[in-house]
Amino acid sequence: MRIILLGAPGAGKGTQAQFIMEKYGIPQISTGDMLRAAIKAGTPLGMEAKKVMDAGQLVSDDIIIGLVKERIAQEDCKGGFLLDGFPRTIPQAEAMVENGVAVDHVIEIDVPDENIVARMSGRRVHPGSGRTYHVTFNAPKVEGKDDVTGEDLVIRADDEESTVRKRLGVYHAQTKPLVDFYTAAAARGDNQYHKMDGTKVVADVSAEIAVLLG
Ligand code: AP5
Ligand code: ZN
């Protein structure tokens, strides 16, 4: 099964990716997590990406397309994969088509902008795995600690309110056009398109995703 999760910053892509990955046993490909790992490792790509991410802008299509191409070619992606945060521009989506990478399901998680800032201000992440929590909406078992490893949770560098607002602007300008792109593809029978109400509680959104994926 090949799935794309589409949605604004903070819509819950990473949260639902965790659920889908565990339930269906397919790897999550999060371009955001890959870039954060490169930053942590101090690679040239990471150093370049950090400036762009901290400004709430998008990393260049060429870099991202190269990263994803390499990742999808790996053995564990043969049985399917879950794309979280990619594609997020029309050229990225076109690159998938050009490379013959078809998808079965595009799942849009829809959350209005006014809900997003509150979500981001309470987000806590486990840097090693990308597991994501919220201080009130999705609290870890022990405050400030990852459920699986017990390691410390951190606040993401780009979750400051002014940066979140910039990221929302970039989402509407550059990523939202993918809704039409994949709706049109669905009309041609290339993929299925599902729009989910992402304002429901985490478990309800997961339950609805499980119904549509079967
Ligand atoms: P990326 O890491 O992909 O960030 P994003 O798309 O902005 O999305 P987020 O990770 O912020 O949100 P999410 O939808 O995963 O929500 P989450 O589940 O965490 O990208 C970061 C940066 O990298 C970009 O800005 C860009 O610079 C660069 N980049 C990445 N991919 C790129 C690409 N393809 N091209 C170019 N540049 C790229 O949930 C958020 C919070 O809400 C959490 O606290 C969570 O617990 C809580 N929550 C989740 N669901 C619910 C719910 N139903 N109810 C209440 N709270 C909830
Ligand atoms: Zn995410």
**How do residues 9-48 score in pLDDT, each as one tens digit?**
999 999 999 999 999 999 999 999 999 999 999 999 999 9
**Residue 85 near ligand 1, beta carbon < 6 Å:** yes
Which one from 50, 88, 124, 131 is the annotated catalytic residue? 88
The pLDDT tens digits of the residues spanning 158-168 come to 999 999 999 99
The answer to the question of whether 15 is labelled as a binding residue is: yes
**What's the domain range around 190?**
2-111+171-213
Q: Which residue's C-alpha comes closest to atom 5 of ligand 1?
A: 9
Phi-psi region of 100 (alpha: psi -120 to 50; beta: other; left: phi over 0): left
Domain-located, residue 206: yes
Nearest 5°: CA angle at 30, between 157 and 171?
Answer: 65
From the number of C-beta atoms within 10 Å of its C-beta (0-12, 13-18, 19+), residue 5 rates as buried
| Single-letter residue type at 112 | P
Q: What is the CATH number of the domain that holds 84?
A: 3.40.50.300
Rounded to whole angstroms, how far apart are CA atoms 115 and 134? Answer: 13
**Residue 194 near ligand 1, beta carbon < 6 Å:** no
Rounded to whole angstroms, how far apart are CA atoms 5 and 134? Answer: 20
Domain-located, residue 45: yes
In this structure, which long-range contacts are made by residues 201-205, counting pairs with CB atoms below 8 Å and at least 24 apart in sequence? 201/137, 202/12, 202/15, 202/16, 202/137, 202/138, 205/12, 205/16, 205/109
Domain-located, residue 131: no
Instruction: State yes or no: is 165 an active-site residue.
Output: no
Q: Are 57 and 89 in contact (CB under 8 A)?
A: no
Tokens of 45: 């790509």
Element (H, E) at 194: strand 192-197
Tokens of 163: 């940066």
Domain-located, residue 130: no
- How sure is the predictor about 125, in pLDDT bands with cuts at 50, 70 and 90? very high
Rounded to whole angstroms, how far apart are CA atoms 57 and 51? Answer: 9
Domain-located, residue 25: yes
Domain-located, residue 150: no
Domain-located, residue 139: no
The pLDDT tens digits of the residues spanning 188-200 come to 999 999 999 999 9
Q: With a threshold of 0.90, does the pTM exceed it?
A: yes
Ligand nearest to the CA of 51: 1
Cα 9 to ligand 2 centroid, rounded to whole Å? 7
Question: Distance from CA of residue 159 to its chain's centroid?
Answer: 15
Tokens of 43: 């690679």
The answer to the question of whether 188 is labelled as a binding residue is: no
The answer to the question of whether 149 is labelled as a binding residue is: no
Number of domains the chain contains: 1
For residue 56, which atom of ligand 1 is closest to its CA? Answer: 25
Nearest 5°: CA angle at 156, between 154 and 157?
Answer: 125
Instruction: State yes or no: is 156 an active-site residue.
Output: yes
Going by C-alpha positions, the residue among 148, 147, 167 that lies closest to residue 156 is 167
Domain-located, residue 153: no
Cα 114 to ligand 2 centroid, rounded to whole Å? 18
ipTM over 0.85: yes
Which one from 2, 13, 71, 124 is the annotated catalytic residue? 13
